[in-house]
Amino acid sequence: MFDLVDGAAMFSAGGGGDPEVGYKIVDALNEGNYEAKLIAPSEVPDNAVVMNFACVGATTAVAYDSEAAVKTLHKLEEYVGKEASAVIPVELGGFNTLAAVDAAARRGIPIVDADGAGRAVPEVHLKVYTIDDISLTPMAVADTHAENVVIVKQTRDSKSAERIARTLAAEWEQSAYTARRILTGKQVKASPILHTLSRSIRIGMLLRKSVDPIRAVLKETQGFRLFEGVVEKVDRETTRGFTWTNVMIEGTGESRNSKFELKAKNEVLVAYRNQKLVAIAPDIVTPVHPRTGRCITAEKIKKSEQLVILGFSAPEKWRTRKGLELWKEVLLRSSVDEAYVPIEQLNP
């Protein structure tokens, strides 16, 4: 499962929570002899009840309590009067994916080899399920020790549910647990991004075993090496349930005499080389360590640190009209007004 941490973090766009917390979750599962059983979407019976699980809030908030996570899932089961047959992660990230794995393993149910975004995303409603009009509610929201638990029975739309969850997270030390988006087994086969956990495990294995891990990952993913350099400046603020980070990088090696800028709202949303757009969400921009290739999340980037910036194409579902409309709203609220251009066109 350590490979899953590193592989999921690769597609996190510098968000999805701290992989170090993901490693601790794996250690705790191993010490407790809990089995994390991964099943393919095709193995889920059509009438099964599958619940999404994740943490919500600023990426600088890293507290995690397994008992509270399981309690949050159980509260949603209690409310709907049905037990979950399986759990599915809402996104890919070194922490958030493992939080879903942890809740499933401790409940003794499998984790589905899929997720709701194919990357990490900054807002609760920003999932491919929204494209398919699958309701986000009912939703259980709890603080990090599940001392306060709120059941959101119904909202006007998914964006309203995001605002409720984000407000609660901001109130509860910038972090909350959520169990939400109840899927049938039939929906699991059609709506989420499929086979992303097994893909992440393969990427994690490449990072662990390859002599040149960055090259191996780019070959496997048909990704892009966007930049390399030294961090010149970092501006960061945690507020309203988000961690906002702007990073300026001075180029080295093949990128010498160039500048690179990242803008993140939990996840990296947009990147510029010499003030020209090189990638924009939903495409994925991930800062990594130049030697190991492992993700360095946006909230942990420090001045004078060496980084390599990688880029990956978004899942095709995000590139549909509905998918891009969802992202455009989020980008505009994040003061990013550039029009979407596929990463492969910006980096031919």
Q: What is the mean pLDDT of residues 85-93?
A: 98
Same domain, 303 and 187: no
Cα dihedral sign, 249-255-257-262? negative
Burial class for 135, CB neighbours closer than 10 Å (0-12, 13-18, 19+): middle
Q: Looking at the DSSP assignment, which residues form a beta bridge with residue 227?
A: 309
Q: Looking at the DSSP assignment, which residues form a beta bridge with residue 151?
A: 140
Same domain, 260 and 149: no
Same domain, 35 and 161: yes
Same domain, 91 and 225: no
Q: Which tokens in the block code for residue 90?
A: 């809402």
Compute the residue count for the chain.
348
Same domain, 112 and 230: no
Is 206 inside any structural domain?
A: no
Boundary-marking domain end, from 196, 222, 239 = 196
| Domain residue limits at 266 | 212-338
- Residue 267 backbone dihedrals phi, psi, to 5 degrees: -100, 155
Is 344 inside any structural domain?
A: no
Same domain, 219 and 331: yes
Is 293 inside any structural domain?
A: yes
Q: Where residue 67 sits, what CATH number does that domain have?
A: 3.40.1610.10
Q: Which tokens in the block code for residue 231?
A: 């961090």
Same domain, 145 and 241: no
pLDDT digits (tens, 9 = 90+) for 314-342: 999 999 999 999 999 999 999 999 999 99
Strand, coil or helix: what is 40? coil
Boundary-marking domain end, from 139, 163, 196 = 196
Boundary-marking domain end, from 196, 224, 253 = 196
Is 347 inside any structural domain?
A: no
Same domain, 188 and 225: no
Please report where in the chains the tokens 């921009």 appear, as a residue: 285
Query: DSSP readout, 136-148?
Result: --SEEEE-TTSSS
pLDDT digits (tens, 9 = 90+) for 214-268: 999 999 999 999 999 999 999 999 988 899 999 999 999 999 999 999 999 999 9
Is 57 inside any structural domain?
A: yes
pLDDT of residue 59: 78
Same domain, 150 and 258: no
Same domain, 187 and 219: no
Q: Which tokens in the block code for residue 170?
A: 């901001």
Same domain, 11 and 100: yes
CA 138/CA 154 separation, integer angstroms: 6
Average pLDDT, the chain: 96
Cα dihedral sign, 57-261-119-160? positive
pLDDT of residue 76: 98
Q: Where residue 297 sits, what CATH number does that domain have?
A: 2.40.390.10
pLDDT digits (tens, 9 = 90+) for 288-315: 999 999 999 999 999 999 999 999 999 9
Instruction: Spell out a b/e string for 35-67, using b for 16 or more CB atoms within 10 Å of the CB, else e.
Output: ebebbbbeebeeebbbbbbbbbbbbbbbebebe
- pLDDT above 70 covers a percentage of the chain that reads 99
Is 311 inside any structural domain?
A: yes
CA 266/CA 30 separation, integer angstroms: 29
Query: DSSP readout, 242-259?
Result: EEEEEEEEEE-GGGTT-E
Q: How many domains does the chain have?
A: 2
Strand, coil or helix: what is 99? helix
Query: DSSP readout, 154-170?
Result: --SSHHHHHHHHHHHHH
Same domain, 8 and 102: yes
Is 277 inside any structural domain?
A: yes
Is 265 inside any structural domain?
A: yes
pLDDT of residue 173: 87
Using the predicted structure, report yes or no on whether residue 61 has a pLDDT greater than 70: no
pLDDT digits (tens, 9 = 90+) for 2-47: 999 999 999 999 999 999 999 999 999 999 999 999 999 999 999 9
Give the CA count within 13 Å in the CB-facing half-sphere of 277.
Answer: 17
